[in-house]
Amino acid sequence: MSIINKFRRYYKTAYLNDHFPSLSSILFSRKKIFVYYGYLGDKNFGDELVYEGAKLIFNDCLLIPIRRLMPVSLIIFVKLFKKKISGIIIGGGTLIGPFWNKEVIFSLLDLNKPVFLHGTGVHADITAADEWKMVLSGNIYGGLRGPNSVKNISKIYKAKIVGDAAFAFFDSTLWNNKSDSKSVLINLGTHFGYDSQNIVRDEFKSFIGHLLSKRYAVDFLCFHENDLQQASILKLKFPSIKIIHSPESYLDAVEIFKQYSFAIGERLHFTVLAIMSKTSFLSINYGAKHNDLLLSLGLEHCGIDPQGSSCNIFVSYFDKIANFDWKDAESKMVGFKLTQQNEGKKFINFSDGIES
- Residue pair 17/41 in contact by the 8 Å Cβ criterion: yes
Distance CA 153, CA 150 (A): 5
Q: Which of 1, 19, 4 is nearest to 70 (CA)?
A: 19
- Residue pair 57/118 in contact by the 8 Å Cβ criterion: yes
Beta bridge partners, 329, equal none
Which three-class secondary structure state does DSSP give residue 33?
A: strand
C-alpha triplet 110, 115, 117: angle, nearest 5°: 150
3-169+334-351 folds as: Rossmann fold (3.40.50)
Distance CA 29, CA 117 (A): 25
In this prediction, residues 199-204 reach a mean pLDDT of 96
Single pTM value for the model? 0.94
Going through the chain in order, the beta strands assigned E by DSSP cover 32-37, 61-65, 87-90, 94-96, 115-122, 140-144, 183-187, 217-221, 242-244, 262-265, 281-284, 303-304
Across 35-49, 91-105, 169-183, least confident range: 169-183
Q: Is CATH 3.10.20.30 what the domain over 176-324 is classified as, yes or no?
A: no
The top-scoring range by mean pLDDT among 14-23, 85-94, 190-199, 320-329 is 85-94
- In our burial notation (b when 16+ CB lie closer than 10 A, e otherwise), range 195-224 reads eebeebbebbeebbeebeeeebbbbbbbbb
Q: Outline which parts of the chain fall under CATH 3.40.50.2000.
A: 176-324
Handedness of CA 251, 205, 298, 279 (dihedral sign): positive
* 59-94 confidence digits (pLDDT tens): 999 999 998 889 999 999 999 999 999 999 999 999
